[in-house]
Structure 1
Amino acid sequence: MNDQSGRGRPRLLIVGCGDIGMRVAALARGRYRLLALTSSPQRLESLRSAGIVPLVGNLDQPQTLWRLAQLAPQRVLMLAPPGDTSGPHDQRSRHLISRLKQSGMLSGSGKNTLRVVYASTSGVYGDCQGELAPETRPCQPQTERALRRCDAERLWRRAGVQHRWRVGLLRIPGIYDGGSRSPKGRLERGLPVLTPVDDVYTNHIHADDLARLCLLALERAAPGRVYNVCDDSTLRMGDYFDLAADLYGLPRPVRVARDQALASGLSPMMLSFMRESRRLDNTRMKAELGVRLRYPEVLLGLRSGEVR
């Protein structure tokens, strides 16, 4: 049922309300008045059924965002990725920040302070050659996709300082679960992974844990603070797929050398992931956001799909 009452509850605007946004909404129902920006009229009914007030607007068309300033949300969860055609700049974040600034309720202190969580990516670190990557490690983005994320981080942090918003940044690695986000489909297609000598470290977070972390960050993230959000697994990419294959009773993927990977049917995006190796440090996440992960290891998260 669509609960549009809840006076006195802070208004939470979810921008980019896909799978993770819907998981956040399910957890947040009853604590916030839920709003979601969508560019798809076909989603209006499903959002309403989830207790969310839908707002039709498109981040690529700033003139459609006029209602955001009028509604004056106290919490904003920015899950929408940058557009693919903006070069190294994130125009979507620019458009959203511009509209939010037009609301007179968004600056101040205490309960009147706007709290924002921006969902970034661990790709901003670039290739760390397998080294540990704490939040203090300088960003060295190596793809246009990561450059746009760095630009967005700068925009949101600057807006936080200029307008006294409380902005937290989450650097998110590979998102998975035991169902639609599992590696099972990739294994069934028989796609290869790198040989151990060429393989890279990857990092993971279960979709349910990420949804919880988004809500915790909205209330607990320090102003301008960055958080790596990942589980405790330390796995190379090939080992991750081997683990999943064993769980599903599927053949382990074939190992190929890096110079053979291009001709092996892998997508350009997957190949870009294979060029970067890093191990995220989640110490700050645990200490400051106070989270206890439901799925601290990948195997536990993959098994979660077997009991649903």
Structure 2
Amino acid sequence: MVLITGCTGYIGSRLAVRLLSMGIKVKGLVLPKEMDKVQELKKCGIEVFQGDLCNAETLKGIGKNVEFAFHMAGLHSSVDRMTSLYVNGTKGLINELKNSPLKGFYLAGNGAVYGDCGDEILYESNNTNPTHPFGLISLKTEKTVLELAERNQFPWIIFRIAEVYGDGQYDPFKNLRNYKLKILGDGTNYTSKIHIDDLIELLLLAFKSNKTNKIYNICDDLPVRQKEFYEEACSISGYSEPEWVADYTIPHRIRLSIHGLRMLSLRMSNRTIKEDLNYKLKYPAIREGLTDLFKRHETVNSNKISLQM
């Protein structure tokens, strides 16, 4: 059985559906307030476990029959709240899994652990020097997994996932169409992206492989400057470009908020995971990913208009 924390989230829900479609039993950790979100997954056959990573007592028994765990739960909140979820919650979760026949623990991390790295190409062997609170918390979470894996002797993989885009919640066309976006900085910083379809395939390949005790960057082949991503999206769609908020006008507290993450320059390399898993990306660069996504976006909008007529 595979446990997925964050199973109602953007990535976790898609991963759960794919695993269930493969005939694999899945248990999903769900907050009591999220029970309405898990109904479709229940129809697919997911086993629901109600609990809260911020309350270790609610995790009692979660490890029953679990052989693999995808730790995908995420939260953007205060430093204290995020520390409670990511660091303390990870400790509590692993403590409950340590008596399970655990064959793999997979952590969804992120590139913020590298810091703000300018034009430098970032490999997994690079030093980590986080400059943003979320990066610091993410690095503490990684170290927690590594320490407990060594102590309890279970295999692990840490995925440093780039900024995800795709249909639904993280469709940039949806946001460009519906809002006048304001993005911090001047857009000259590098950003690493990954299309949700490629991300799910890579997670599944890692799950099916015998590769463990590895750290992997998950991103596409061609990191671009933040401004280039939106210029490409607007060129494809005809939508107006976002407004860039001048660096000198941004208060320090905003820089340290979750919105400040987009100011980091992260030029990540995916060489290791592509070589290890022998994977060819469906969307190797933003042009392919955005072009296909806009076609889907327009199809959905056309269908909505047809239904209204």
> TM range, normalised to the smaller chain?
0.7 to 0.9
**Match of 1:231?**
220
**Match of 1:32?**
24
**Match of 1:8?**
none
Q: CA offset at residue 285 of structure 1? A: 0.9
User: What is the SS of the residue equivalent to 1:212?
Assistant: helix
How many residue pairs get matched? 286
**Match of 1:244?**
233
**Structure 2 residue corresponding to 1:76, chosen from 49, 69, 72:** 69
Contact 1:168–1:218 (Cα < 8 Å) also in 2: no
**Match of 1:109?**
none
Contact 1:191–1:266 (Cα < 8 Å) also in 2: no
Contact 1:131–1:279 (Cα < 8 Å) also in 2: yes
RMSD of the TM alignment (CA)?
A: 2.5
Q: Does residue 190 of structure 1 match 2:184?
A: no
Q: Does residue 49 of structure 1 match 2:43?
A: yes
Q: CA offset at residue 286 of structure 1? A: 0.4
**Match of 1:93?**
90
User: What is the SS of the residue equivalent to 2:62?
Assistant: helix
Moved over 6 A (4+): none
Task: Report the TM-score, using the length of structure 2 for normalisation.
Answer: 0.84
Whole-Å separation in 1 of the counterparts to 2:245 and 2:52: 42
For structure 2, list consecutive stretches of 5 or more residues without a partner in the other structure: 300-309
Give the AA of the match of 1:164: Q
Whole-Å separation in 2 of the counterparts to 1:174 and 1:209: 12
Contact 1:175–1:181 (Cα < 8 Å) also in 2: yes
Q: Does residue 164 of structure 1 match 2:153?
A: yes
User: What is the SS of the residue equivalent to 1:168?
Assistant: strand
Q: Does residue 206 of structure 1 match 2:200?
A: no
Whole-Å separation in 2 of the counterparts to 1:130 and 1:186: 28
**Structure 2 residue corresponding to 1:142, chosen from 116, 128, 131:** 131
Q: CA offset at residue 66 of structure 1? A: 1.3
Q: CA offset at residue 203 of structure 1? A: 0.5
- Change in CA separation of 1:27 and 1:292 when aligned onto 2, cut-off 3 Å: farther
Give the AA of the match of 2:16: A
Contact 1:167–1:222 (Cα < 8 Å) also in 2: no
Q: Deviations over 1:102-161 (max 9, x none)?
A: 33x33xxxxxxx211100000100011121000001111112211111111111122222
**Structure 1 residue corresponding to 2:289, chosen from 298, 301, 307:** 301
**Structure 1 residue corresponding to 2:270, chosen from 268, 275, 282:** 282
Whole-Å separation in 1 of the counterparts to 2:185 and 2:66: 49
Contact 2:10–2:169 (Cα < 8 Å) also in 1: no
Deviation larger for 228-237 or 36-45: 36-45
Give the AA of the match of 1:162: R
- Change in CA separation of 1:213 and 1:255 when aligned onto 2, cut-off 3 Å: same
Q: CA offset at residue 211 of structure 1? A: 1.3
Give the AA of the match of 2:122: A
Whole-Å separation in 2 of the counterparts to 1:142 and 1:26: 35
Q: CA offset at residue 219 of structure 1? A: 3.0
Deviation larger for 184-193 or 36-45: 184-193
Whole-Å separation in 2 of the counterparts to 1:128 and 1:236: 13
- Change in CA separation of 1:72 and 1:236 when aligned onto 2, cut-off 3 Å: same
Give the AA of the match of 1:100: L
User: What is the SS of the residue equivalent to 1:67?
Assistant: coil
Whole-Å separation in 1 of the counterparts to 2:37 and 2:60: 20
Q: CA offset at residue 19 of structure 1? A: 2.0
Contact 1:94–1:155 (Cα < 8 Å) also in 2: yes
**Match of 1:152?**
141
Q: CA offset at residue 300 of structure 1? A: 1.8
- Change in CA separation of 1:238 and 1:155 when aligned onto 2, cut-off 3 Å: same
- Change in CA separation of 1:213 and 1:43 when aligned onto 2, cut-off 3 Å: same
Contact 1:178–1:301 (Cα < 8 Å) also in 2: no
User: What is the SS of the residue equivalent to 1:300?
Assistant: helix
For structure 1, list consecutive stretches of 5 or more residues without a partner in the other structure: 1-10, 107-113
**Match of 1:291?**
279
Whole-Å separation in 1 of the counterparts to 2:51 and 2:182: 40
Contact 2:115–2:130 (Cα < 8 Å) also in 1: yes
User: What is the SS of the residue equivalent to 2:54?
Assistant: coil
Whole-Å separation in 2 of the counterparts to 1:255 and 1:65: 43
Contact 1:130–1:277 (Cα < 8 Å) also in 2: yes
